[in-house]
């Protein structure tokens, strides 16, 4: 099997088991520890490292902790060295690597030049012994590095990119790594993990499966001997002669020993056809909604099992409800060779459907017949509602909308979910939080006079106390303002829909937004992810609201990997004569933000055991003034319309299902009155103390004006609100460089860091009219730093065109930083020359000397030099960034006399000491 670990859980450690073909099988928990970042196998036990000084020894057969031991390093990466029967450990993300025995005693230390090590593996197959590291280096954060296990030198680097690994994104991060045999017969494989995205295998080198030698490492005493056993095996190989060499390396003054090995294999070994599954029931699917199932053919015998397109067909399906999706053919499968293909069920009408999948087994002997079945049901069509718009950057229109099931103003269930539970959400620990779905006054307008009678939801946990809740508030607010109603749920049945009748039906009123949800009070027990959700995508800020740690958030916005809606529905019915006025609570909702330490363990996550959905909306079409503006279906209920002309624009949206379209939404008029692009030169020093003055667009509330600047104020990206696996930009308005052949970007940046235990980056990019181009960035793992001045020639991407710039905060956990600071953003044509300092004056007071001068236009810094001879060489003293009134000790200068020179400059700061240390510290 292949195993992965869930490193961001708590309480117990969760592991996931996959087949060698990558098929998810199950998960299991081992009590007593958590946070395993990397683990390794010695043939009997697994050894796990969780970025502490403790190693955990685990028995996966019995799913239990065997023992633990301490090591002299904060171990994040770990690898078993079969040659030495010992463990290699990283020093957190870096070196030096430590070699320890299986009780934690250090054997040796190995200095390495590579950093950002997330996992390591020992390679005994491709040479004299090396260590492979999965790193978060490179353009795509997944470079693999081979390290000499004797010297620590880097042997080679594999740049893992989309060309090598299709589907890889620049934001993806490397994880664990292992070197294995047996996945592909006759080869050693580098098996690596891209966190939360994929596992992949790369061919390392050929290995002889027909001969093997147990790893030996030790000393043969003078006059003694050692027996080396060679095991020959004809399992899994065809007839023929196999030749190789057994190499024995040693420190004697003679060459390494090479002993020839030969194995002759005779006899017939026919291919053996195997397929899984042997039948498949697709269950229910709405009309024309496709459900796909993967089938796997394996050759369990000798070479070769041959397959071609003509080997596959579907019969007894006159309607065409089932279809084949075949991979590349023809193929010839060797022993344990695998071929994958899909069967798609998309019923064209209602009712029970059956068909036969026919596969000629490639041996000319028989036709394998696989029974297929499924049921078609009518496709449920929703309605697009509450189309809203916001305008940013002058002419960019962000549209959002909702989709409700049922006919407005008629009895029915209101919800955003797709009706199928996908996963459970929680912190993985004891916790208390609210979840809710929100309907605006617009959504509920036609329901005025009706009543909310019952709520149904999908609880996952039997060790959680649930209470239904209703809140009200303003349409534009994410958080409700008033708690209206609460009702404890006496008992729930976990893992299914629970329908609860309200003790007092709630009357719906015009002009009122409503939050409908429940509280989860999670107690100690086996189920720590209590809130059921669908497979998404989320109706952001509507179907995914959660109050965790005292603050209401959109789950999809705060957690990129939790793009789901709550499985939570409300039933609206006609009002009856028994409808009570109700004793509504009308309690103000207290919005609070916990301190940084209290927030540390409140990390939202899913169970990691998702269930496949059975139906889906295909997407949406967006229309401006009656003309469709999207070239491809919009997958989620939001759309960004760029470059919208000035004037009044009318927008509508229509949902696209597999069998029909939704009614067109109500029209929404948006007036565009965009300012012209910024002309050059441009300076942003935040003196207006407002992002809106120069039309900056912040991707989240983490970006805001800061009292810290160079000089104050500035702008910063704050850790609060805490975000995980995030990418949040601060984007500029357009700049017009038409007629300008050269353009330069410069700015000041500083970092106040909190911890180096997570990767958090600040990147800067330029939009060239087609795509964002990355210019550079900083990694918080290098620690805090004071103000730095950076300058870039962006002519290639910005000259003679309309362009933009942006700063992108991205990382694993914003909690581990305090603030990124940015100030003095300049976009201009490069200065050919700038004026000289021409009014430098000097005064001496006591043991200090004071230099004073006027600012030079466009200067970014001033460099100070000294000499005892005005015609000789001058020695650099350092630089300052502000003109005037610089006080230095006389001891820096000559005993009798000194001549002082000062130059003004632009661009990046000089590689020299910063003289105004007090200002730099500030």
| Lowest mean pLDDT across 211-225, 296-310, 335-349, 656-670 | 211-225
Per-residue model confidence (pLDDT) at position 406: 53
Per-residue model confidence (pLDDT) at position 608: 45
Mean pLDDT of the chain: 88
Per-residue model confidence (pLDDT) at position 919: 41
Q: Which of 315, 321, 380 is nearest to 347 (CA)?
A: 321
pLDDT per position as a tens digit, 225-272: 988 888 898 877 778 888 888 888 788 898 888 899 999 988 888 898
pLDDT per position as a tens digit, 494-528: 999 999 999 999 999 877 899 999 999 999 988 88
Residue 888 · residue 842 · CB < 8 Å: no
Other Cβ atoms within 10 Å of 648 Cβ, number: 10
Query: Alpha carbon of 896 to those of 350, 488, 892, 893: distances in Å?
Result: 102, 86, 12, 9
Model confidence band, residue 601 (pLDDT cutoffs 50, 70, 90): very low
pLDDT per position as a tens digit, 661-716: 999 999 999 999 989 999 999 999 999 999 999 999 999 999 999 999 998 999 99
| Residue carrying the six token digits 């939080």 | 433
Per-residue model confidence (pLDDT) at position 709: 94
pLDDT higher than 90, residue 126: no
Average pLDDT over residues 140-164: 93
Length of the chain, please?
Answer: 922
CATH class of 682-828: mainly beta
Q: Which of 34, 47, 56 is nearest to 88 (CA)?
A: 47
Model confidence band, residue 215 (pLDDT cutoffs 50, 70, 90): low
The CATH number of the structural domain formed by 382-410+615-674 is: 2.60.40.10
Average pLDDT over residues 145-172: 91
Q: Residue 323 carries which DSSP code? A: E
Per-residue model confidence (pLDDT) at position 598: 43
Per-residue model confidence (pLDDT) at position 152: 93
pLDDT higher than 70, residue 578: no
Domain with CATH 2.60.40.10 in the chain: 273-377, 382-410+615-674
Per-residue model confidence (pLDDT) at position 70: 96
pLDDT per position as a tens digit, 607-643: 444 443 434 678 999 999 999 999 999 988 889 998 8
2-206 maps to CATH 2.120.10.30: yes
Query: Alpha carbon of 748 to those of 707, 790, 821: distances in Å?
Result: 15, 6, 8
| Lowest mean pLDDT across 487-496, 525-534, 688-697, 886-895 | 886-895
Per-residue model confidence (pLDDT) at position 921: 41
Per-residue model confidence (pLDDT) at position 615: 45
Average pLDDT over residues 123-139: 89
Q: Residue 250 carries which DSSP code? A: -
Per-residue model confidence (pLDDT) at position 443: 79
**Dihedral over alpha carbons 509, 511, 517, 518 (to 10 degrees):** -70
First-to-last CA distance in the chain? 55
Model confidence band, residue 728 (pLDDT cutoffs 50, 70, 90): very high
Element (H, E) at 619: strand 619-624
Pairing of strands 257-265, 322-326: unpaired
pLDDT higher than 60, residue 599: no
Options 1.10.10, 2.60.120, 1.10.287, 1.10.3470; which CATH number does 419-606 get? 2.60.120
CA distance 803 to 393: 12
pLDDT higher than 60, residue 918: no
* CATH architecture of structural domain 841-921: Sandwich (2.60)
Per-residue model confidence (pLDDT) at position 910: 80
Pairing of strands 817-828, 714-718: antiparallel
pLDDT per position as a tens digit, 740-794: 999 999 999 999 999 998 999 999 999 998 899 999 999 999 999 999 989 899 9
Three-state secondary-structure class, residue 853: coil
pTM above 0.75, yes or no: no
CATH fold group of domain 273-377: Immunoglobulin-like (2.60.40)
Average pLDDT over residues 800-826: 95
Which residue has better confidence, 872 or 315? 315
Non-local (6+) Cβ contacts of 872 within 8 A are: none
| Lowest mean pLDDT across 477-481, 747-751, 800-804 | 477-481
Domain with CATH 2.60.120.200 in the chain: 682-828
Other Cβ atoms within 10 Å of 97 Cβ, number: 24
């Amino acid at each position: 099997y292949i195993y992965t670990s869930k490193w961001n859980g708590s309480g117990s450690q969760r592991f996931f088991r996959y087949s060698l073909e990558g098929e998810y099988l199950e998960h299991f928990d081992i009590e007593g520890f958590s946070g395993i970042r990397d683990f390794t196998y010695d043939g009997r036990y697994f050894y796990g490292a969780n970025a502490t000084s403790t190693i955990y020894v685990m028995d996966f057969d019995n799913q239990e902790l065997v023992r633990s031991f301490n090591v002299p390093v904060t171990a994040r990466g770990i690898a078993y060295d079969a040659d030495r029967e010992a463990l290699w450990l990283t020093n957190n993300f870096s070196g030096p690597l430590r070699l320890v025995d299986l009780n934690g005693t250090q054997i040796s230390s190995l200095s390495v030049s590579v950093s950002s090590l997330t996992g390591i593996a020992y390679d005994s197959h491709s040479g004299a012994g090396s260590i492979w590291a999965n790193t978060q280096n490179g353009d795509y954060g997944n470079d693999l590095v081979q390290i000499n296990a004797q010297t620590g030198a880097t042997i080679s680097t594999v740049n893992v990119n989309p060309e090598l690994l299709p589907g890889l994104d620049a934001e993806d991060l490397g994880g664990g790594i292992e070197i294995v045999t047996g996945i592909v017969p006759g080869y050693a494989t580098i098996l690596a993990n891209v966190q939360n995205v994929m596992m992949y295998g790369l061919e390392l080198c050929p290995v002889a499966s027909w001969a093997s030698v147990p790893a030996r490492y030790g000393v043969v005493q003078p006059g003694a001997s050692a027996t080396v056993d060679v095991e020959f095996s004809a399992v899994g190989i065809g007839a023929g002669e196999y030749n190789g060499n057994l190499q024995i390396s040693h420190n004697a003054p003679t060459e390494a020993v090479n002993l020839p090995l030969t194995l002759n294999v005779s006899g017939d070994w026919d291919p053996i056809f195997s397929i899984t599954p042997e039948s498949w029931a697709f269950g229910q699917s709405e009309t024309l909604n496709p459900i796909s199932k993967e089938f796997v053919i394996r050759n369990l015998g000798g070479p070769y099992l041959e397959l071609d397109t003509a080997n596959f067909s579907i019969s007894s399906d006159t309607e065409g409800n089932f279809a084949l999706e075949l991979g590349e053919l023809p193929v010839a499968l060797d022993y344990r060779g695998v071929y994958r293909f899909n069967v798609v069920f998309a019923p064209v009408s209602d009712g029970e459907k059956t068909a036969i999948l026919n596969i000629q087994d490639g041996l000319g002997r028989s036709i394998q017949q696989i029974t297929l079945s499924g049921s078609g049901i009518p496709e449920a069509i929703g309605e697009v509602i509450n189309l809203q718009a916001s305008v940013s950057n002058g002419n960019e229109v962000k549209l959002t909308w909702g989709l409700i099931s049922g006919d407005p103003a008629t009895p029915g269930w209101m919800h955003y979910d797709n009706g199928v539970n996908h996963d459970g959400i929680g912190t993985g620990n004891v916790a208390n939080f609210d979840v809710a779905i929100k309907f605006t006054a617009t959504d509920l307008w036609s329901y005025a006079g009706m009543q909310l009678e019952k709520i149904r939801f999908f609880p996952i946990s039997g060790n959680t106390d649930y209470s239904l809740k209703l809140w009200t508030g303003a349409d534009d607010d994410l958080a409700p303002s008033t708690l209206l109603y609460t009702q404890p749920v006496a008992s729930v049945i976990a893992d299914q829909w629970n329908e609860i009748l309200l003790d007092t039906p709630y009357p719906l009123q015009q002009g009122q937004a409503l939050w409908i949800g429940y509280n989860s009070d999670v107690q100690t027990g086996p189920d720590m992810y209590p809130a059921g959700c669908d497979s998404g995508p989320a109706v952001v800020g509507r179907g995914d609201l959660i109050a965790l740690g005292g603050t209401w958030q959109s789950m999809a916005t705060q957690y990129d990997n939790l793009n789901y809606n709550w499985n939570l529905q409300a039933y609206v019915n006609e009002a009856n004569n028994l409808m009570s006025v109700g004793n509504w609570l009308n309690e103000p909702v207290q919005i609070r933000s916990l301190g940084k330490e209290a927030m540390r363990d409140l990390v939202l996550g899913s169970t990691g055991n998702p269930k496949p959905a059975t139906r889906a909306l295909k997407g949406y079409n967006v229309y401006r003034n009656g003309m469709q503006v999207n070239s491809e279906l919009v997958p989620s209920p939001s759309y960004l319309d760029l470059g919208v002309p000035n004037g009044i624009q009318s927008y509508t949206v229509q949902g696209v299902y597999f069998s029909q379209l939704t009614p067109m939404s109500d029209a929404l008029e948006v007036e565009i009155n965009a300012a012209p692009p910024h002309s050059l030169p441009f300076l942003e020093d935040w003196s207006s103390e407002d992002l809106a003055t120069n039309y900056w667009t912040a991707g989240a509330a983490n970006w805001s004006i800061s009292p810290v600047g160079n000089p104050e104020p500035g702008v910063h990206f704050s850790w609060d609100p805490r975000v995980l696996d995030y990418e949040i930009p601060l984007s500029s308005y357009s700049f017009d460089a038409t007629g300008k052949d050269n353009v330069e970007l410069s700015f000041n940046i500083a970092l106040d860091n909190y911890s180096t235990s997570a990767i958090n980056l600040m990147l800067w990019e330029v939009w060239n009219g087609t795509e964002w181009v990355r210019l550079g960035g900083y990694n918080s793992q290098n620690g805090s730093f004071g103000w730095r001045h950076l300058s870039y020639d962006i002519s290639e991407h910005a000259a003679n065109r309309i362009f933009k710039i942006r700063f992108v905060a991205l990382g694993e956990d914003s909690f581990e930083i305090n603030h990124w600071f940015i100030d003095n953003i300049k976009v201009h044509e490069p200065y050919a020359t700038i004026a000289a300092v021409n009014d430098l004056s000097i005064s001496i007071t006591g043991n200090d000397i004071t230099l004073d001068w006027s600012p030079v236009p466009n200067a970014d810094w001033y460099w100070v030099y000294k000499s005892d001879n005005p015609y000789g060489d001058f020695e650099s003293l350092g630089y300052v960034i502000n003109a005037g009134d610089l006080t230095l000790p006389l001891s820096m200068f000559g005993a009798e006399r000194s001549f002082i020179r000062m130059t003004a400059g632009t661009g990046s700061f000089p590689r020299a000491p910063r003289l105004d240390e007090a200002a730099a510290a500030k």
